Amino acid sequence: MAPLAPQSAHPSRMHSRSWARLPDEQLLRLRLSDLGLSLRNPRLQRGIARLNEELATAGIAFRPHCWLADEWFSPDGVPGIAIPFYLAHPRLRALEWRMMREVEGGNANWLMRILRHEAGHAIDSAFRLRRRRRWREVFGPASLPYPDSYRPRPGSRRFVQHLGAWYAQSHPTEDFAETFAVWLKGPQWRHDYREWPALSKLEYVDRLMRELRGKRAPVRTRAHIEPVGADRRTLGQYYAGRMMRQSRGRARLLDEALRRAFTATRRTARSVRAATFMRRFKAPMRRALALRLDVSEYMVHQVMRIVVQRTAELDLFLRGPQRTGRRDVERLMLRVARLHLGGGGGRHLL
């Protein structure tokens, strides 16, 4: 499958009626900037309105501004919330599901959990909270390097549990954002965490927010960082990039799987390179895997491209005869595709 070339769009951007019914392969050719997206989606409007109501109920005058970008984030120094573009339209939510097998923030409960978390980052920026000595004593220095990965302690009660995966343990700023989110949801935290050491963090946030009641934030920029309206990538390029980042995070697991399936030893002069062998069957395997996993052929193509490239880099050969090699390759590709596209945990690759 050749790389998807961008599909031309009207200079003033397309209306959703012109692309919402396109099949995936055509939709993936469109640039994000040409989709004409906005926050007018009813689901997003309800979520943002509810967040503002919760802030008002808590006596907080600050309101984070929101915009559409390529993922969830709240930039350091900008008191706002970037919301993933795919939440702005049901067709894009469907595409996100087919591509990634989950839609982060795709239902009302999940949306509110993330909004509360990102509001914690935004209020941190708005009031420069991380500069406070007591904030650093409670959560740790925000200047700590942000880890590429972290090893949580599931049994620890020093951290609240809000978004899952013990995310509060990943960094002091995430610890604060998670603690703020639990606090903002309502006073139930006093009961839920009454025997946890994390209760002291919640009580600190409670005192801090009481101090900020009615106060105007010193940082009031309304900047939109990396807005989707300026993103010239096609949807295909966007998802290919996410797939590549995902594969780097699972590189060790992929290498282990490849070394089990193939061998680095060229046993005879007629031994076949595994990458060369896989390229022969890419088209039929791509179609079969896409049907079996109910995902886009484009994303299966990206997975297969990563696997073939890594197999060539490791200089691997078939272990057995070619007559059984295709069966072994199909099994390997199914495992790897499930890892990347089926939402499975990395430990289940082999």
Contact, 93 vs 102, CB < 8 A? no
Contact, 228 vs 303, CB < 8 A? no
pLDDT per residue as tens digits for the range 151-172: 788 889 999 999 988 999 999 9
Indicate whether 345 pLDDT > 50: no
- Encoded amino acid at 210, one letter: R
Least confident of 166-170, 203-207, 247-251: 247-251
Furthest-apart CA atoms within the chain: distance in Å: 78
Please tell me the predicted confidence (pLDDT) of residue 87. Answer: 98
- DSSP assigned state of 31: B
Whole-angstrom distance, CA of residue 318 vs CA of residue 323: 11
Indicate whether 57 pLDDT > 90: yes
Indicate whether 350 pLDDT > 50: no
Indicate whether 342 pLDDT > 60: no
pLDDT band at 271 (very low <50, low <70, confident <90, very high): confident
Whole-angstrom distance, CA of residue 126 vs CA of residue 163: 22
Please tell me the predicted confidence (pLDDT) of residue 349. Answer: 31
Segment 307-311 long-range contacts (CB within 8 Å, at least 24 positions apart): 307/254, 307/258, 307/278, 307/332, 307/333, 307/336, 308/275, 308/278, 308/279, 308/282, 309/275, 310/251, 310/254, 310/255, 310/258, 311/258, 311/262, 311/274, 311/275, 311/278
Whole-angstrom distance, CA of residue 160 vs CA of residue 183: 10
Indicate whether 71 pLDDT > 80: yes
Please tell me the predicted confidence (pLDDT) of residue 150. Answer: 73
Please tell me the predicted confidence (pLDDT) of residue 341. Answer: 65
Q: What angle do CA 336, 340, 25 make, to 5 degrees?
A: 110
Whole-angstrom distance, CA of residue 312 vs CA of residue 315: 5
Q: Estimate to the nearest angstrom the gap between the alpha carbon of 18 and the chain centroid.
A: 27
